[in-house]
Amino acid sequence: MNIMVIGGGGREHAIIRKIKESPLADHIYALPGNGGMAADAECVPIGAEDLDAIVAFAESHPVDYAIVAPDDPLVMGLADRLTEKGIPCFGPSKDAAIIEGSKAFSKELMKKYGIPTAEYEIFTDAEDAMNYVESCKIPVVVKADGLAKGKGVIIAQTREEAKDAVTSMMEDRIFGESGSCVVIEEFLEGPEVSVLSFTDGKTLIPMVSSMDHKRALDGDLGPNTGGMGTVAPNPYYTPEIDERCREEIFLPTMIAMNKEGRTFKGCLYFGLMITADGPKVIEYNCRFGDPETQVVLPLLDSDLLDIMMHVTKGTLDEAEVNFADDAACCVVMASKGYPRSYEKGCLLEIPDDLKNVYVAGARKGDDGRLYSDGGRVLGVTERGSSISEAIDKAYASVKRITFTNGFYRKDIGARALKALED
C-alpha cells in the first residue's frame, strides 16, 4: 500500500517510522514532511493547509490510504474531501474535528453530557466578557474559541491580565476570527495527563498515558512552547484514575459525539487535569499530540497501520492494540531563542545508530547535510524498562548529537520521577 501522511513535524516523523514497520506499507509520501525525514518518506512540498493541492496530489498519484495528522487541515475538512474522492483516510470528519476546532462547542458538549470540566462562560461580545472579568474569581483562564496554533490560552493571574487577554483576542483579534468568541473558565489545579485514544465511534482504546512539558526552561519556567519533552507512562495516571476516566470521560465523550451526529473516527486526545475532585477535561484534540506521539508510538507493540485502517473501516474491536510495559522519554532539542526569535541553518549531526530521533524542523542542504529549520528541531526518544532508565538513555543520546545553536531542558521527566517517589 502507498500511504500519504499530511504534516511535517516530529509527530509525523514518529507516525511514519511506526507505519514503516508494517508489512502493509510500501511507499510513503509526506506532505510536506521535512528534510530530516527524507530517508523514511518521499517529501512533497505541499503545505498541510493547501487542501486543493493535497487532494489533487492524491488523485494523481497511487495513494491507497491517507493519514491527516495536524489539527488545521482536519478542522478545515481534509478527511471529508479525501473520503469523497474514494481515498480512505485516518482522521476525523470536519463535523467531528470541531471538538478541537471550537472550545465553545467542546464546553457545551461536556455540559450537556455531564462530562467533568472547569466551570465556564462563553462570550461573543467583548463588553459582556469585560464585565464578567470585573468580578470573577482570579486566577481565571481566557481561551480563544478557535484554533490559534496552540497559543490561544491565557492564564490570567490578575484582573488586568484577564482584561488584556479579552481585549487582544476579541478587539485586536490577535488570533483573527478564532477570537470572535472566547471561553472564560475556572482555573483548575493538579497534575496534567495526556491520553491519546483510538476510536471508531463504537470502540475506544486509550493508548499509554503521557506527560508533556510545555514551558521552555527547566523547573517549568519561561514561556509556553509547543512542548519541550514528554515521558510515558504518566505516573499520575493510576489504575484508579484510568477507570474513572474511562467511565466518566472517554466513553461518555464518544457516545456524546455519536448522539450529536458527529461520530469521531481517528485519534481523540484527552488533555486531563487530575484535580482534588477527580479527573477533568482541560481540552480535547482531534489528533495525535506533539510531542506525546514521540513517546507513545515507540511503546506500541502492534501494527499502527493495521489499527488505523480498522478505525477507518469501523472495525476497531477486531484490531490488536498492545503497548509494551516499558517507559519512554523524549527530549526536544530546540533552536536557542525558541519560542521567540531564533536562528535557522545550524548544522545537525545525528549518529546513525540513534533510531528514535524524530526530526521536527530541518532541511537538507546542497551538501546533503542536515540543517536546523525551525524552533523545535529534534525529538530524541529512548525506551527503558523504567522512566528513570528511559530518561538517562534519552539524555545520553542527546549528548551524542551535534546542534551548536540548540538548547534543551535538562529536567524532562523529573516531575514524573518525583511523583513515583511520593
Q: Which residues bind ligand GLY (CB under 6 A)?
A: 212, 227, 285, 289-290, 292
CA distance 213 to 410: 11
Instruction: Name the residue nearer to ligand GLY (CB basis): 25 or 282.
Output: 282
Shortest Å distance, C-beta 226 to ligand GLY: 7
> Does 188 help bind ligand AMP (rule: CB under 6 A)?
yes
Binding of ligand AMP by 185 (CB under 6 A): yes
At 172 the three-state DSSP class reads: coil
Of 50-58, 183-191, 233-241, 414-422, which part binds ligand AMP (CB under 6 A)?
Answer: 183-191
Closest to ligand AMP by CB, 237 or 403: 237
Beta bridge partners, 380, equal 331, 357
Q: For residues 135-174, which are near ligand AMP according to CB under 6 A?
A: 141, 150, 153, 155
Residue among 108, 283, 389, 411 that touches ligand AMP (CB under 6 A):
283
| Least gap, CB of 285 to ligand GLY (angstroms) | 5
Residues in the chain: 422
Cα(130)–Cα(143) distance, integer angstroms: 14
Q: How far apart are CA 205 and CA 263, in angstroms?
A: 15
Binding site partner of 289, from ligand AMP, ligand GLY, none, Cβ cut-off 5-8 A by kind:
ligand GLY
Burial pattern 363-376, b for ≥16 Cβ within 10 A else e, equals beeeeeebbbbbbb
In the complex, which residue's CB is closest to ligand GLY? 289
Element containing residue 379 per DSSP (H, E):
strand 376-384
What is the C-alpha to C-alpha distance for residues 264 and 144, in angstroms, rounded to an integer?
A: 23
Q: How far is CA 340 from the centre of its chain?
A: 20
Number of residues that bind ligand AMP (CB under 6 A): 14
Q: What is the DSSP letter of 188?
A: P
Residue 315 CB: number of other CB atoms within 10 A?
13
| Residue of the chain from 115, 118, 249, 332 that contacts ligand AMP (CB under 6 A) | 118
Q: Which is nearer to ligand AMP, 33 or 226 (CB)?
A: 226
Helix boundaries (H) for 61-138: 71-76, 78-84, 94-101, 103-112, 126-135
Q: How far is the CB of 260 from ligand GLY (least distance, A)?
A: 23
Name the site residues for ligand AMP (rule: CB under 6 A): 118, 141, 150, 153, 155, 185-188, 192, 214, 271, 282-283
